[in-house]
Structure 1
Amino acid sequence: MATVTLAEAKNYLRVDSTTEDDLITKLIGSATTTVENVLRQPLSAFDPLPDDIHIAILYTIAYLYEYRETADFDSMIKFLRAILAPYRKEEF
């Protein structure tokens, strides 16, 4: 289930070039997995996917793209936990 398309991510990042398509595609996968880990449940559990979760995925893609060399993952995870709190399962 693709929650964010390559075209949508590129538009969000304001990237016109095709030279970074592979990187952005990998970031989409990483962001989706990261958000699922924070939620403690698969994205397929939501139908339809809430806008807050969709925006969290886009934010994560942008953060990883912008700070690909120096990303502070602890800070990113704390932010995601805060904005995704209403959707998180209490336990696995």
Structure 2
Amino acid sequence: MEIVSLAEAKTYLRVDGTSEDQLITRLINSAATIVENILRQPLSEFDQLPEDIHTAVLYCLAYLYEYRETADFDAMVKFLRAILTPYRKEAF
């Protein structure tokens, strides 16, 4: 399941051209992994991805892209946890 396509990501980030396609593709994968870690489950477990989770992946992608040099990952993760709390699996 493709969570966010490169075209969707570039539109969301307002990026034209192809010079950063490789970077954006890597950041999409990183954002999806971060969201999965917060959820404590793979995104592939959802039959249909809830809009909140899709938005969280886009937010994470944008944050990683915009703040690649100065990112405050603690703040990003706290925000994502707030969005994703209803979907998180309990830790065992």
Shorter-chain TM range is over 0.9
Give the AA of the match of 2:23.
L
TM-score, with structure 1 as normaliser:
0.97
Task: Give the CA deviation at 1:16.
Answer: 0.7
Cα-Cα RMSD: 0.8
User: For residue 55 of structure 2, what is the aligned residue in structure 1?
Assistant: 55
Alignment partners' CA distance in 2, 1:61 and 1:42: 17
Alignment partners' CA distance in 2, 1:17 and 1:38: 32
Task: Give the CA deviation at 1:85.
Answer: 0.3
User: Percent identity, aligned pairs only?
Assistant: 75
Q: Secondary structure at the residue paired with 2:64?
A: helix
Task: Give the CA deviation at 1:2.
Answer: 1.6
User: For residue 37 of structure 2, what is the aligned residue in structure 1?
Assistant: 37
TM-score, with structure 2 as normaliser:
0.97
Alignment partners' CA distance in 1, 2:46 and 2:52: 12
Give the AA of the match of 1:85.
T
Aligned length: 92
Q: Which runs of 4+ in 1 moved over 6 A?
A: none
Alignment partners' CA distance in 2, 1:88 and 1:35: 10
Give the AA of the match of 2:42.
P
Give the AA of the match of 1:39.
L
